[in-house]
Structure 1
């Protein structure tokens, strides 16, 4: 393929060759006229004599012979390990005594599916869910997030201090008749639109049926204000999502559930929770739980309106929602 600074396009090569072959121009005169070397003019003229106009097209730069190419037997061993064990280039290279870059080239040459595209237990290519329009499918899930004790947790104070906090919380919980530490957890309820990745999330006290139902009513109202009409909702098989209260909150919206022990089906909201943990919950050291909670709404706004999303071509989720207010703030 011609690069941007190439002096001749396919049409230019044809004109040069015709000047030499059909009009009888000397090679030097043709080279000066088209601002190329004499050897270049000779090459295109000879190709025109041999192949006609078809010879003016670009040819592959691949060599006819590659003496240093990986032997076929070694390639078969690499492919065999990849198919049977589903390992990456580093582990395959360590097993076979080959450099990982060589393994990667072999896997690329034979167009084997990348590991992130495969279901590890079965080896089948993962079938990804795509939604054509906003509201076609909304993923809903809950993430359990431990609270931070006053003064900071073990990440800030060290494991020895963090263990003393944990033991003190457990003993206090036993005195108060609770099985779990008094410090407790936040339950992060999230609803995420599959097409736009626009997310609505709240920090709530539990994951009971009434809490989940109330969260969905608020989430659905928020999506409606954003111009999104929800038609289907996907959840796991948690008890709160199998309750009559949650079904009543859904109303006419179709409810789908994932297959048991198959969290990949709800992978978009699972990936959102991982991003949330990396960029907000554990992004820096917090001195108190209130300090972290105060930054949650700010981070969520940044995610929806300003943070580039790799699945959306580097654009924030708000850009996929037509006429969404606040996306330019």
Structure 2
């Protein structure tokens, strides 16, 4: 119940009490009203009924008789939305040319009711109106948003099961004295984060094919799983003419779809990029300062030892990993109708 309703009931109780006691003075004394207030309340009740018992605030008597019509008010609001910098005199003259008769004072009255008296408030109304409009983005605008908007940059690659998407990349490790440049061909299953890696002295299509053929595909076959899609950048070792490029031909023979990232957008292949950072921080930068390598085989042996720890014993803190090891997630992510052999996991444990 509102305050106005409570006051109305109290006034009605005053009138009923005076009628029951047949004594106005005694009823006013008991209810805390003066005789003048009693007669005013009774007069309003006899004239307007129960509506006369409601207290009316000063000025709350309906619209002013000189208030502009609704059509004129809407025309003023539409004009100031299109031209927020115009003053009241300019608006009155502009509307007069359109057949709308209104004075500058009438324009200011409309602005006052809608809190548009200042030019700044009218510009804010224009900005709000434009912001609420819905429009379709062109392909170019979408590309710009994806490049600069944090909302688009924070999107994640979604995978459904083990082998749904495998990311590959070539990483320059450094230069080994007596050997030359050393490159890492890295592969990671995006669902489980299970990783493979081999070191080479060049980055050619044959090395990219070699790591898949020797390490990755046999591991998937051992667990009765298959790779659906491979994601790579646009490097020459991965991309070329499908009819004569070794990597493209190998993926076609294995019936694996090949996707590529956007040019100069390494974030599109974020899983393997994050793997490279982990390898740098936890393996290469440490081993490079504690051991003197003389051959590529020595580096490969230490890398395989670390990858075994990474895949089977190291809790992973990545998205949706929940501290589990990559091999555990690899097994859990296999399709339900596939029977996987967990002998290597038992040996590692």
TM-score by length of 1: 0.51
1:327 aligns with 2:345: yes
The equivalent of 1:122 in structure 2 is: 149
1:224 CA displacement: 2.0
Q: Residues of 2 paired with 1:276 and 1:254: CA distance?
A: 27
Local SS of the residue matching 2:151: coil
1:327 CA displacement: 2.1
Q: Residues of 2 paired with 1:226 and 1:205: CA distance?
A: 31
The equivalent of 2:227 in structure 1 is: 230
The equivalent of 1:26 in structure 2 is: none
Local SS of the residue matching 1:201: strand
Q: Residues of 2 paired with 1:130 and 1:209: CA distance?
A: 27
Local SS of the residue matching 1:269: helix
The equivalent of 1:71 in structure 2 is: none
The equivalent of 2:251 in structure 1 is: 250
Please tell me whether the aligned partners of residues 237 and 260 of structure 1 are also in contact (alpha carbons under 8 angstroms).
yes
Q: CA RMSD in A?
A: 2.1
Please tell me whether the aligned partners of residues 139 and 192 of structure 1 are also in contact (alpha carbons under 8 angstroms).
yes
Cα displacement string for residues 75-106 of structure 1 (whole angstroms, at most 9, x for unaligned residues): xxxxxxxxxxxxxxxxxxxxxxxxxxxxxxxx
Q: Residues of 2 paired with 1:241 and 1:275: CA distance?
A: 23
The equivalent of 2:309 in structure 1 is: 302
Cα displacement string for residues 16-42 of structure 1 (whole angstroms, at most 9, x for unaligned residues): xxxxxxxxxxxxxxxxxxxxxxxxxxx
Q: Residues of 2 paired with 1:292 and 1:183: CA distance?
A: 11
The equivalent of 1:174 in structure 2 is: none
Local SS of the residue matching 1:240: coil
Matches within 5 A, 1:56-205: 121-125=148-152, 126-149=154-177, 183-205=179-201
1:120 CA displacement: 7.9
Cα displacement string for residues 90-141 of structure 1 (whole angstroms, at most 9, x for unaligned residues): xxxxxxxxxxxxxxxxxxxxxxxxxxxx988333342101211000000010
The equivalent of 1:213 in structure 2 is: 209
The equivalent of 2:285 in structure 1 is: 282
Cα displacement string for residues 253-283 of structure 1 (whole angstroms, at most 9, x for unaligned residues): 1110001111111110110011011111002
The equivalent of 1:3 in structure 2 is: none
Q: Residues of 2 paired with 1:259 and 1:235: CA distance?
A: 10
Q: Residues of 1 paired with 2:218 and 2:211: CA distance?
A: 10
1:198 CA displacement: 0.7
Local SS of the residue matching 2:150: coil
Q: Residues of 1 paired with 2:158 and 2:317: CA distance?
A: 15
Please tell me whether the aligned partners of residues 185 and 207 of structure 2 are also in contact (alpha carbons under 8 angstroms).
no
Q: Residues of 1 paired with 2:146 and 2:308: CA distance?
A: 33
1:315 aligns with 2:324: yes
1:148 CA displacement: 4.0
The equivalent of 1:272 in structure 2 is: 275
After superposition, the Cα gap between the structure-2 partners of 1:253 and 1:295, relative to the gap in structure 1 and judged at 3 Å, is same
Q: Residues of 1 paired with 2:162 and 2:181: CA distance?
A: 32
1:183 CA displacement: 4.7
Higher helix share goes to which structure?
Answer: 2
Please tell me whether the aligned partners of residues 311 and 326 of structure 2 are also in contact (alpha carbons under 8 angstroms).
yes
1:234 CA displacement: 0.3
| Structure 2 stretches lacking a partner, 5+ long | 1-144, 332-339
Local SS of the residue matching 1:280: helix
Bigger Rg, which one: 2
Q: Residues of 1 paired with 2:195 and 2:224: CA distance?
A: 14
> Would you say how many aligned residue pairs link Structure 1 and Structure 2?
180
Please tell me whether the aligned partners of residues 214 and 249 of structure 1 are also in contact (alpha carbons under 8 angstroms).
no
1:303 CA displacement: 0.5
